[in-house]
């Protein structure tokens, strides 16, 4: 296996295990996010990639070469950005999920938090380079 310069596996077993657990949890949340439109799947998969880069070269490479989200991760790592279709899909999912959450929000603090999350998510998507 070729050593990747982005991989920096911790020597401390506790730290390595913590990163590994974070990667496994993030992968699970990411896969759930790809199934359910109310969760940001790609965001959690990117977090998992970061965690695995500090804990497991095997799992890191598995994510990068996965047939479902590997290309998206490679494009993200290489700074290639998102396709227009992916951007519009992300906008739609974010707006839909936050709108539903706002409808059920119980108080002004929760609503304010959701609006801040909406602004940050839309800004983050917008700032991503658009892949041609």
Last residue of a domain, one of 61, 80, 99: 80
The domain total for the chain is 2
Listed residues 57, 80, 103: the one ending a domain: 80
Query: Is the domain of 68 the same as that of 14?
Result: yes
Last residue of a domain, one of 37, 59, 80: 80
pLDDT of residue 67: 93
If asked whether residues 7 and 55 sit together in one domain, one would say yes
Domain hosting residue 122, numbered range: 81-132
Q: Are residues 61 and 16 both part of a single domain? A: yes
Stretches in the chain below the pLDDT threshold 70: 1-5, 37-38
What pLDDT score was predicted for residue 3? 47
C-alpha dihedral, 63 to 71 to 69 to 4, nearest 10°: 10
Give yes or no for a contact between 16 and 55, defined as CB atoms under 8 angstroms apart.
yes
At residue 126, the 3 state secondary structure works out as helix
User: Which pLDDT score is estimated for 2?
Assistant: 43
71 & 94 share domain: no
For residues 58 and 100, state if they share a domain.
no
Let me know whether 113 and 71 are in one domain: no
Are 25 and 75 in the same domain? yes
């Amino acid at each position: 296996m070729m050593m990747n310069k982005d991989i920096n596996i911790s020597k401390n077993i506790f730290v390595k295990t913590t990163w590994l657990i974070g990667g496994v949890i993030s992968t699970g949340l990411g896969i759930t996010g790809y199934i359910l439109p109310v969760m940001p799947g790609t965001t959690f998969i990117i977090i998992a990639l970061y965690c695995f880069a500090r804990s497991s070269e095997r799992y890191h490479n598995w994510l990068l070469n996965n047939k479902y989200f590997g290309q998206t991760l490679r494009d993200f790592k290489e700074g290639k950005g998102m396709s227009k279709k992916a951007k519009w899909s992300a906008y739609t999912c974010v707006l839909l999920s936050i709108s539903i959450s706002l409808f059920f929000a119980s108080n002004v603090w929760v609503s304010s938090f959701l609006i801040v999350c909406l602004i940050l998510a839309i800004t983050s998507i917008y700032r991503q380079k658009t892949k041609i």
